[in-house]
Amino acid sequence: MKAIEITQYGAPEVLKLTERAKPELKPGEVLIKVKASGVNRPDVLQRIGQYPVPPGASDLPGLEVAGEIVEGSLDGADNRWGLKIGSRVCALVQGGGYAEYCAAPLAQCLPVPEGLSDVEAASLPETFFTVWSNVFDRAHLGNTEAGEKETLLVQGGTSGIGVTAIQLGVALGHRVFATAGSDDKARACEALGAERGINYKTEDFVAVTKELTKDRGVDVVLDMVGGDYLPREVQALAFDGRIAIIALLGGSKATLDMGALLRRRLTVTGSTLRPRSVAFKAAIAQQLHEKVWPLFAAGKIRPVIYQTFPAEQADKAHALMETSTHVGKIVLTW
């Protein structure tokens, strides 16, 4: 099969088209003939040597794919949606997504939502698994004690994670605010449903969110920045507020006012999805199929594709991601 490998750590040009043997399936896995592969920030970090491959995972980059099942055992409890040979699926994988064929745990495969293309389907798993796990499972975005829907602040609202978090939050009835790096991007957040897009280069997200919530603050912050954003996010939180950290683009060190955490009953949590078990990811898949996939059919959420590249131009896809000019997902096609 054709695949894109990281020939050495470095700039996008280290990504090269190569020939590899098809993956050998482990128990519980299926082989997917890949039509499209999602591009994500962790792929970039892996390329530059800052995201180690979990033991036993493919060294090829790529954490999400869409295509059709061509091989594997489809018997057993993991086949919860009656998938068959030839079924169109999208899947979350630990690696190996930048290839014509990819092995995926059956429990991490989801049927392609009706009406979506392979490119659109390939843009879903990494961001939807991540957002659901962190915003709804870990940070418990839900209802206030008074029964009102809660408020969510999304840092980096035009990233793949951001466009997913905005749409899910709004579709489930919550107030959503989002930061972005330009006025145009802030308006793009609002077009996706955010009540207010905040240009973090010209506005203070703490002041804006405090004003919008009548000084109450937000209930949940989805943070991809870390660093000096964290103490400001603490200031932006309401009592009992939660911060879910999923990336550290602004650095891994921060200073926190621990007294504020105590007085206002705040929670700061973080997680990485890639090394978690198949059972953990299968539980998220179940929740997505039950609670999120129907939102596609209802037209309440949609994939946001910024640009596609032929797989052999993966270097150009990575170069685009590093500019941070995109709104939504970047996808490779096979």
Residue 68 in this model has a pLDDT that exceeds 70:
yes
Place of tokens 């060190």: 253
Give the domain ranges of the chain: 2-125+274-333, 139-270
The H or E element spanning position 293 is: helix 293-297
Count CA atoms within 13 Å of residue 64 on its CB side. 28
Which of 125-134, 251-260, 268-277: highest mean pLDDT? 125-134
Place of tokens 């890639």: 274
Instruction: Describe the crossing of helices 205-212 and 229-236 by its angle, rounded to 10 degrees.
Output: 10
Q: Report yes or no: 311 and 4 within 8 Å, Cβ to Cβ.
A: yes
Percent of the chain with pLDDT over 70: 99
CATH homologous superfamily for the domain 139-270: NAD(P)-binding Rossmann-like Domain (3.40.50.720)
**What CATH number labels 2-125+274-333?**
3.90.180.10
- Decide: helix, strand or coil at residue 281: helix
Label residue 330 exposed, middle or buried (CB < 10 Å: 0-12, 13-18, 19+).
buried
pLDDT digits (tens, 9 = 90+) for 94-139: 999 999 999 999 999 999 999 999 999 999 999 999 999 999 999 9
What CA–CA distance (Å, rounded) separates 281 from 164? 18
